């Protein structure tokens, strides 16, 4: 996909990856994009890069706009290779351009690529003049690695937010208002649930740090660019809700696998009971849904029930994977319940309770049956 203008001096020069389906355990059925940006001031800055296999795409996109040798600064907001994979090509094309990054960014890039690049370390509040434009940096550690920062183009109110406010969706259009705000907000929710959820405290700190800035445009490093004021407001409000674990007490998620249908029967019985009390239920059958979809479903849910029959004195492998993933993503303030059928030894529900306890869930009494409910 060719370079796309955000305005007369800011360009998207990234890459669309329609084929990717997996992101460190997170299933991404709609692909993704790796967004890099050019800011053309009296000095020229490249902000972030793309995953290594798309290096040629990024360099060709840059070359559509300017001679890459004219890049004066290379800003690296984040070390993770989906954003740094093509930095070496940019450094090779513009060897005199300093690589602007945080202290942790320098550490990470030095190990991944080279300790010999011309690093210029920045921290929150530092600015970089491009002559007629100014870039301002805000460190956002753990959103989503220790090295993260965001870059703010003061004169335009454009926030290059890197992972924050991203979505995994490969689209022809580069803007949320073209793709559809509703769809893009849903993809942002899925992304938050599967990537950002453990870091609510750090998201709150980042939101506070960004609080004084006018955000006309949010240009993340995945997915579409947000530029509509009401949608940006909605996105920021959602991030605040998610970071503060504001969950719906009228929403339950029931995640299960089943062997001969008995645990599935229990799942449906629980669903009926919740619904009888006015609680909306999302049923996630792990035979048909990846664990990533369960995380999206439960991001805003107060009640999470997990069911498995006993298999080989433990749980079904799909349920074990879900519990491990859930514990790592660490949703807070939830009420959990284990359920499941067994024939004789019946270890599954105890295992589920142990995992939910370790995930700091408040437990309700488990629901079990022998062979058939
Ligand atoms: Fe999109 Fe943390 O990398």
Does residue 218 share a domain with residue 158? yes
Q: How far is the CA of 210 from the centre of ligand 1 (A)?
A: 20
Q: How far is CA 201 from CA 78, 235, 300, in A?
A: 19, 17, 17
Q: How far apart are CA 110 and CA 259, in angstroms?
A: 50
Quick one: what percent of the chain has pLDDT higher than 90?
99
Q: On the CB side of 30, how many CA atoms lie within 13 Å of its CA?
A: 20
User: For the segment 46-95, what is each residue's pLDDT rounded down to a tens digit?
Assistant: 999 999 999 999 999 999 999 999 999 999 999 999 999 999 999 999 99
User: Is-contact 264 234, C-beta < 8 A?
Assistant: no
Does residue 179 share a domain with residue 275? no
Does residue 155 share a domain with residue 42? yes
**Catalytic site includes residue 9:** no
User: Is-contact 231 181, C-beta < 8 A?
Assistant: yes
Does residue 360 share a domain with residue 288? yes
**Does ligand 1 have an atom closer than 6 angstroms to the CB of 222?**
yes
Does residue 283 share a domain with residue 193? no
The average pLDDT across 157-177 equals 97
Does residue 60 share a domain with residue 188? yes
Structure tokens at 123: 């921290």
Does residue 187 share a domain with residue 279? no
User: For the segment 182-236, what is each residue's pLDDT rounded down to a tens digit?
Assistant: 999 999 999 999 999 999 999 999 999 998 899 999 999 999 999 999 999 999 9
Structure tokens at 302: 């107060």
Does residue 235 share a domain with residue 302? no
Q: How far apart are CA 177 and CA 103, in angstroms?
A: 36
- In this model, does residue 1 exceed pLDDT 90? no
Confidence band of 144 (pLDDT split at 50, 70, 90): confident
Give the CATH number for residue 100.
3.60.15.10
Q: How far is CA 50 from CA 37, 78, 323, 335, in A?
A: 10, 11, 32, 40
Q: How far is the CA of 82 from the centre of ligand 1 (A)?
A: 6
Please, is 182 exposed, middle or buried when counting C-beta atoms within 10 Å of its C-beta (0-12, 13-18, 19+)? exposed
Does residue 105 share a domain with residue 226? yes
Q: How far apart are CA 106 and CA 114, in angstroms?
A: 9
- In this model, does residue 248 exceed pLDDT 90? yes
Neighbouring-strand partners of residue 134: 129
Q: DSSP label at 52?
A: G
User: Is-contact 172 193, C-beta < 8 A?
Assistant: no
Give the residue from 193, 215, 243 where a domain finishes: 243
Structural domain count, the chain: 2
**Does ligand 1 have an atom closer than 6 angstroms to the CB of 147?**
no
Quick one: what percent of the chain has pLDDT higher than 70?
100
User: Is-contact 145 80, C-beta < 8 A?
Assistant: yes
Give the CATH number for residue 270.
3.40.50.360
User: For the segment 294-316, what is each residue's pLDDT rounded down to a tens digit?
Assistant: 999 999 999 999 999 999 999 99
Does residue 274 share a domain with residue 191? no
Q: How far apart are CA 173 and CA 90, in angstroms?
A: 25
Q: On the CB side of 164, how many CA atoms lie within 13 Å of its CA?
A: 34
* Domain span including residue 154: 4-243
Q: DSSP label at 175?
A: B
Closest C-alpha among 200, 201, 165 to residue 185: 165
User: For the segment 115-143, what is each residue's pLDDT rounded down to a tens digit?
Assistant: 999 999 999 999 999 999 999 999 999 99
Write down the pLDDT at residue 68.
Answer: 98
Give the residue from 243, 278, 303 where a domain finishes: 243
**Catalytic site includes residue 362:** no
- Whole-number mean pLDDT of the chain? 97
Does residue 203 share a domain with residue 265? no
CA diameter of the chain: 75
Helices 229-243, 181-191: axis angle to 10 degrees equals 20
Q: Closest ligand 1 atom to the C-alpha of 222?
A: 1
pTM of the model: 0.96
Structure tokens at 51: 């995953």
Q: How far apart are CA 266 and CA 255, in angstroms?
A: 11
**Does ligand 1 have an atom closer than 6 angstroms to the CB of 163?**
yes
Q: How far is the CA of 79 from the centre of ligand 1 (A)?
A: 8
Helix (H, G, I), strand (E, B) or coil at 252: strand
User: Dihedral angle at the C-alpha atoms of 188, 193, 196, 198, nearest 10 degrees?
Assistant: 160
Does residue 302 share a domain with residue 189? no
Q: Closest ligand 1 atom to the C-alpha of 163?
A: 1
Q: DSSP label at 311?
A: B
User: For the segment 212-225, what is each residue's pLDDT rounded down to a tens digit?
Assistant: 899 999 999 999 99
**Catalytic site includes residue 24:** yes
Give the residue from 208, 243, 278 where a domain finishes: 243
């Amino acid at each position: 996909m060719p370079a796309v203008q955000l305005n007369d001096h800011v360009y998207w020069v990234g890459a669309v990856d329609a084929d990717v389906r997996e992101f460190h355990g997170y299933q991404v059925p709609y692909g993704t994009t790796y967004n890099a940006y050019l800011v053309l001031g009296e000095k020229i800055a490249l902000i972030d890069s793309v995953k290594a296999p798309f290096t040629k795409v990024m360099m060709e996109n840059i070359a559509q706009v300017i001679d890459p040798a004219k890049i004066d600064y290379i800003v690296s907001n984040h070390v993770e290779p989906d954003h740094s994979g093509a930095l070496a090509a940019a450094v090779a094309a513009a060897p005199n351009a300093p690589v602007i990054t945080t202290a942790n960014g320098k550490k990470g890039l030095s190990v991944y690529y080279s300790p010999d690049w011309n690093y210029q370390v920045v921290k929150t509040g530092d600015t970089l003049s491009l002559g007629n434009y100014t870039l301002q940096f805000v460190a956002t550690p753990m959103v989503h690695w220790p090295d993260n920062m965001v870059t703010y183009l003061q004169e335009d109110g454009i926030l290059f937010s890197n992972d924050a406010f991203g979505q995994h969706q490969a689209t022809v259009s580069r803007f949320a208002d073209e793709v559809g705000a509703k769809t893009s907000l849903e993809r942002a929710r899925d992304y938050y649930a599967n990537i950002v959820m453990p870091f609510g405290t750090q998201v709150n700190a980042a939101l506070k740090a960004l609080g004084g800035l006018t955000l006309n445009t949010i240009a993340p490093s995945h997915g579409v660019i947000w530029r509509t004021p009401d949608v940006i407001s909605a996105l920021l409000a959602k991030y605040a809700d998610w970071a503060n674990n504001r969950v719906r007490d009228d929403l339950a998620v029931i995640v299960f696998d089943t062997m001969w249908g008995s645990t599935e029967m229990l799942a449906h019985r629980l669903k009926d009971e919740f619904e009888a009390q006015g609680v909306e239920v999302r049923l996630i059958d792990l035979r048909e849904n990846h664990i990533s979809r369960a995380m999206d479903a439960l991001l805003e849910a107060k009640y999470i029930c997990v069911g498995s029959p006993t298999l080989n004195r433990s749980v079904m492998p799909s349920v074990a994977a879900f519990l491990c993933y859930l514990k790592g993503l660490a949703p807070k303030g939830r009420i959990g319940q284990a359920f499941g059928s067994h024939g004789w030894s019946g270890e599954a529900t105890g295992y589920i309770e142990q995992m939910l306890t370790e995930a700091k869930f408040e437990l309700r009494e488990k629901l079990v049956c022998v062979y058939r409910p």
